[in-house]
Structure 1
Amino acid sequence: MEGLLEPSLYTIKAIIILDNDGERLVSKYYDDTYGSVREQRAFEKNVFNKTHKSDSEIALLDGLTVVYKGNVDLFFYVVGSTQENELMLMSVLSCLYDSVSILLRKNVEKRILLRNIDSVFLIIDEIVDGGVIMQVDGCHVLDQIVTRGDDIPLTEQTISQVFQSAREQIKWSLLK
């Protein structure tokens, strides 16, 4: 019984989105495994080199479990320890990808993702908080983001924010 690890809610070590050249577009690290930006970039390069030509969805790398999904010119990664359940990591990855896909209207590519980078960071924050999985339902994540936009007083919103919020509310009412 000495070899068993204590269960923990802190299951996610990092969420990363890279382009098809292996360059970082989005990254969020939840522990100090890779404390400096240099270490993070080296890890990302290593992950990209091991996964970008592979057909599998799971890789064991540097003592970590990495689940990933590639699309047109983007690679989505969720990183956990080797003791983490791969299905749980995959559910986070699926939620991330589905949320981004819905947000970008099924047009998941680098140019459009960069245009909506603020919403992508909100999606990541809704899914994982400090390494703890908070949500794995993409529609619920997007509902929370739309609700957050409604919390800003109307007098402090720009015209484009008001129109964007109205468009999103109409879209969600049509989807439900």
Structure 2
Amino acid sequence: MVNFQYYDGTFPTAKEQAAFERSVFSKTHRAGGERSSVDLCVYVVGGCQENELMLSAVLACLLDTLGHLLRKEVEKRWLLDNMEGTFLVVDEIVDRGVILESDPQQVIQRLSLRVDDNPPSEQSMSQ
């Protein structure tokens, strides 16, 4: 299991974080979750004050953007082999827990602009 990224102090210890992650996984892995891929489960969680529809939109945006850039289904092996590109996608969607974008086309456009500013040796997602 890959650790989640947390943007606040909800879980002060690694033990509490791991317990939460096990709990979420055990509740969702059998049900298939709302959005899952071939061999990968992706979760977007928020506090009880968060809008569930917005969190769902962020999840859809993340998976749709990665799928578009891959031109196929998002798989764990690709994700691990291209972690830098995955982080670029996440950085365009969320910044320190603040949702910046939930439209996959906008994220793709921003990534295209960002990659165009970099030399070819630094391009990863749009190759």
TM-score, normalization by structure 1: 0.64
Q: As a proportion of its length, which structure holds more strand?
A: 1
What's the counterpart of residue 42 of structure 1?
A: 19
1:129-169 per-residue CA deviation (whole Å, 9 max, x = no partner) reads 111110011121122122222223x3xx52xx46x68xx38
Distance 1:78 1:108 in 2: 16
| Structure 1 unaligned blocks of 5 or more | 1-22, 58-68, 170-176
- State the superposition RMSD in angstroms: 2.2
Cα pair distance change 1:73/1:143, threshold 3 Å: same
Give the share of equivalent positions with the same residue, in percent.
48
Cα pair distance change 1:27/1:147, threshold 3 Å: farther
| Structure 2 unaligned blocks of 5 or more | none
Q: As a proportion of its length, which structure holds more helix?
A: 2
Which is higher, the Rg of structure 1 or of structure 2? 1
Shift of 1:56: 5.3
Shift of 1:128: 0.9
How many residues end up aligned between the 2 structures?
127
1:75-116 per-residue CA deviation (whole Å, 9 max, x = no partner) reads 111111123221111111110110111122223111111111
Q: Secondary structure at the match of 2:46?
A: strand
- The counterpart of 1:84, out of the listed 45, 50, 57, is 50
Distance 1:41 1:105 in 2: 33
TM-score, normalization by structure 2: 0.85
